[in-house]
Amino acid sequence: MFPPSEPERAILGDGGTTVNRCIDLELGQKVLSYDLLGPLERHELDQHLEKCAACRDFRQQSLGKEGAFDDLALRVFRLSQRQRVEPHAWMMNRLRDLWLPLLLILGVVGVVTVWLAQRGPDVATVHVLHWAVTRGATLDSVATPHVEPVPDGMFLRTDRSARAYVYETREGTLRRLLPPEGGDPTEVGPAELSELRLPKLESKQSRLLLVLVPSGAAGTVTEWDDAVFRQLRGGKNPQVASRGAWPGGITPTFRWYP
The verdict on 128 and 152 lying in the same domain is yes
Q: Which residues contact 230 (CB under 8 A, 6 or more apart)?
A: 245
Q: Say how many domains are in the chain.
A: 3
**Do 227 and 133 lie in a common domain?**
yes
Domain boundary among 58, 80, 102: 80
Q: Is the pLDDT of residue 102 over 70?
A: yes
Q: How far is CA 12 from CA 21, 60, 226, in A?
A: 12, 24, 112
Residues 52 and 115 in one domain: no
Contact 8, 21 (CB under 8 A): yes
pLDDT tens, 114-148? 876 665 555 578 999 999 999 888 887 777 888 88
Nearest to 166 by CA among 141, 130, 116, 201: 201
What is the residue type of 92? M
Instruction: Please answer whether residues 225 and 176 qualify as being in contact, where contact means their C-beta atoms are separated by less than 8 angstroms.
Output: yes
Are 208 and 187 part of one and the same domain? yes
Buried b (16+ CB within 10 A) or exposed e, 181-197: eeeebbebeeeeebebe
Determine contact, residues 157/130, Cβ cutoff 8 Å: yes
95 and 112, same domain (yes or no) = yes
Q: Which of 52, 80, 108 is the last residue of a domain?
A: 80
182 in the same domain as 104: no
pTM here is 0.52
Q: What is the pLDDT of residues 163-221, one digit of tens each?
A: 999 999 988 788 999 999 888 999 999 988 999 999 999 888 889 999 999 998 888 99
Pair 151, 257: CB distance under 8 Å: yes
End-to-end, the C-alpha distance of the chain in Å comes to 115
Report the distance separating Cα 62 and Cα 66, nearest Å.
9
The top-scoring range by mean pLDDT among 45-59, 139-153, 204-218, 244-258 is: 204-218
Q: Are residues 33 and 94 in the same domain?
A: no
**Residue span of the structural domain in which 38 resides:** 6-80
Residues 202, 134 share a domain? yes
Query: What is the chain's alpha carbon radius of gyration, rounded to the nearest angstrom?
Result: 49
Q: What pLDDT does 164 receive? A: 94
| Residue 80 confidence (pLDDT) | 61
- Whose CA is closest to 213, among 235, 233, 182, 238? 238
> Do 193 and 170 reside in the same domain of the chain?
yes
* Same-domain pairing of 173 and 237: yes
Asked if 183 and 196 sit in the same domain, the reply is yes
Average pLDDT score over residue span 80-85 = 59
Per-residue pLDDT at 18 exceeds 70:
no
Quick check: 77 pLDDT over 70?
no
Answer yes or no: do 74 and 138 share one domain: no
Residue at 1 is within a domain: no
Domain assignment present for 21: yes
| 3-state secondary structure at position 99 | helix
Which carries the bigger pLDDT value, residue 66 or residue 194? 194
